[in-house]
Amino acid sequence: MLDGHYADELSYLRGEFERRRGDGRATSDLSDIARAATYGSVQTLMVDIDTPVPGTVAEDGAVTFGATGEVDAPGVLDEISRRTLLSDGRVVAVRAADLPDGAPAAAILRYVP
């Protein structure tokens, strides 16, 4: 029963992402997501639970990506998630197949940046 509920929720989020992308309120670009999370405009963040993205997010939201295989704590996805939660955004952990564009994260924004 819970699997069906979760699948329905993911389907809704993917559809909502596509609807919002059309009006500039959704993105799968990590640099754009990091800036949006920094300024509190991420409503819902979907993040791949299996793909670490090494690097850092600066105070202004600029992303510096680390070398592949480099282990950073917390890493780009963790920091974007933290900033989203701090601004009362929702973070949904998903598998890569559930994300649009083959990206490690996707965000539905509260407003157009």
For residue 23, the model assigns a pLDDT of 93
CA angle 35, 40, 42 (to 5 degrees): 80
Q: Looking at residue 64, what is its pLDDT?
A: 93
Residue 113: predicted pLDDT: 78
- Does 2-109 carry CATH code 3.30.1330.30? yes
In this predicted model, what pLDDT tens digit does every residue of 30-48 receive, in sequence order?
Answer: 999 999 999 999 999 999 9
Phi/psi zone of residue 40: left (φ > 0), alpha (ψ -120 to 50 degrees), beta?
left
Mean pLDDT of 100-111: 95
Confidence (pLDDT) at 66: 87
What the block records as the tokens of 97 is 């197949």
Inform me whether the pLDDT recorded for 2 exceeds 90: no
Condensed to tens digits (0 to 9), the pLDDT of residues 3-15 reads 777 788 999 999 9
Domain boundaries, the chain: 2-109
At 19 the pLDDT is 95
Q: What is the pLDDT of residues 61-76, one digit of tens each?
A: 999 998 776 665 679 9
